[in-house]
């Protein structure tokens, strides 16, 4: 048995230090810490419900060792939607378009959609589907999720 690793990072705007096992995923460590907006779906890097922003990049937290994020900045979906205008408009659009049924895929979908638009993604339904191709939904059939993202992408003005 080995000692835990202490890892210090910025979580949703606050500095935190967590004691984690070497083999513990970022997903589990953050959920234990209280970030239950991160969902545990497949725990194998496939379904995308655990997605968050790590130093601005959308990643699947179930395959990232918690010990490896020292010094980095993490945003999870709920906090992002509270503090970021684009994320908030995505959340509202998801609700308006009926893109939330059970809601389990939604945090991951918001993160992936957010990253798509921030990276310059446009209201192109095929491109939106490709951007969300790492996020599985068992309820909606995806159309309403694509509608929601398309609506925000159309409205979002890229300021150069």
Q: Which of 40, 78, 86, 115 binds another protein (CB under 8 A)?
A: 115
Binding mask 12-51 for another protein (x = CB under 8 A): ---------xxxxx-----------------xxxx-x--x
Torsion angle defined by CA atoms of residues 80, 120, 9 and 41, in that order, rounded to the nearest 10 degrees: 70
- Among positions 84-103, residues that touch another protein (CB under 8 A) are none
Angstrom CA distances, 83 to 33, 88, 132, 138, 158, stand at 20, 8, 23, 28, 19
Least separation in angstroms between CB 62 and another protein? 7
Reading the block at residue 109, the tokens are 């979908």
- Among positions 133-152, residues that touch another protein (CB under 8 A) are 133-135
List interacting residues with another protein (CB under 8 A): 1-5, 21-25, 43-46, 48, 51, 57-60, 62-65, 67-68, 70, 112, 115-116, 130-131, 133-135
């Amino acid at each position: 048995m080995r000692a835990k690793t202490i890892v210090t990072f910025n979580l949703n705007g606050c500095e935190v230090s967590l004691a984690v096992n070497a083999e513990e995923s970022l997903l589990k460590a953050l959920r234990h810490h209280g970030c239950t907006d991160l969902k545990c779906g497949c725990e194998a890097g496939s379904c995308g419900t655990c997605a968050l922003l790590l130093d601005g990049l959308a990643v699947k937290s179930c395959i990232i060792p918690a010990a490896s994020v020292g010094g980095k900045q993490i945003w999870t979906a709920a906090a992002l939607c509270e503090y970021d205008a684009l994320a908030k408009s995505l959340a509202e659009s998801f609700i308006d378009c009926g893109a939330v049924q059970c809601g389990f895929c939604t945090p991951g979908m918001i993160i992936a959609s957010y990253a798509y638009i921030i990276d310059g993604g446009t209201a192109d339904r095929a491109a939106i589907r490709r951007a969300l191709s790492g996020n599985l939904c068992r309820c909606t059939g995806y159309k309403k999720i694509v509608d929601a993202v398309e609506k925000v992408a159309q409205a979002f003005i890229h300021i150069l």
